[in-house]
Chain A
Amino acid sequence: DVKVTQSSRYLVKRTGEKVFLECVQDMDHENMFWYRQDPGLGLRLIYFSYDVKMKEKGDIPEGYSVSREKKERFSLILESASTNQTSMYLCASSSGTATYEQYFGPGTRLTVT
């Protein structure tokens, strides 16, 4: 079974703090994704990576950056957290072999106060 793990299930941070969300997958997948999930807005893509050190902006990249130094690990960085970044953050991976299936982690519920 593919396993995607996220470093924290719940996180509370203060406005202005730098926040790191970590995601690890164990299936040697090429592609990794970061989404945020908000009620009534569905899943919105923040950034994705199709290879180590390669990244592309998604639909809502403002206020976020990412890092992928190793194939299995994809980090989402909030440079200066703001209250409007309070959300559920979901990481996903896919094989890159045109099967298209994305495997999701359990999510990190981030609250910025």
Chain B
Amino acid sequence: QQQVKQSPQSLIVQKGGIPIINCAYENTAFDYFPWYQQFPGKGPALLIAIRPDVSEKKEGRFTISFNKSAKQFSLHIMDSQPGDSATYFCAASMQGGSEKLVFGKGMKLTVNP
């Protein structure tokens, strides 16, 4: 049973567009929701994260929106650039879980010039 469902699997946008990646979870014990970014040939790296006590968090051009009642969270990339082309993973974790993360299946984003 997949605990974190991510969609879409891939997305192609033009430079300046606003790609949106969605994730949904079932386990209400999750209390930490990060997004990881992975470039080809590299390991994933933390991009931005949110806890359920806030509904939105912005870091530069990246924004997480969190809807606790719907058990959904999403990543928005404002003014997307070709350098944002990467695979994006959402994840979830819970307190006392040895900092284990449950990952979504990932989304490959391509930003065309």
Contact residues of B: prevailing secondary structure = loop
Cα distance A84–B4 in the bound complex, in angstroms: 24
CB A9 to nearest CB in B, in angstroms, measures 9
Total A residues in contact with B, Cβ cutoff 8 Å: 28
Contact yes or no, B43 A105, CB < 8 A: yes
Residues of A within 8 A of B43 (CB): 4, 90, 92, 104-107
Q: How far is the CB of B46 from chain A (nearest CB, A)?
A: 5
Query: Which one of B41, B101, B104 contacts A102 once the chains associate, using CB atoms below 8 Å?
Result: B101
Query: Does A28 count as interface, using CB distance less than 8 angstroms?
Result: no
**Contact partner, B44, options A31, A43, A48, Cβ 8 Å:** A43
Per-residue 0/1 for A30-56: is the Cβ within 8 Å of any B Cβ (1 yes, 0 no)?
010100000011111100101000001
One of B9, B32, B100, B101 near A40 (C-beta < 8 A): B9
What B residues does A92 contact at CB under 8 A? 43
Query: Are B103 and A43 interface neighbours, CB within 8 A?
Result: yes
Residues on B with C-beta less than 8 A from A105 are 43
With A and B bound together, what is the CA distance between A80 and B57 in angstroms?
46
Flag A84-113 by CB within 8 Å of B: 1 or 0 each: 000000101011101111111111000000
Interface flags, A71-92, vs B, CB<8A=1, else 0: 0000000000000000000101
5 A-B pairs with the lowest CB-CB distances in the bound complex, closest first: A104-B43, A42-B105, A43-B103, A94-B99, A50-B98
| B residues with CB within 8 A of A | 6, 9, 32, 34, 41-46, 49, 89, 93, 95, 98-101, 103-106
A residues at B contact (CB < 8 Å):
4, 31, 33, 40-45, 48, 50, 56, 58, 90, 92, 94-96, 98-107
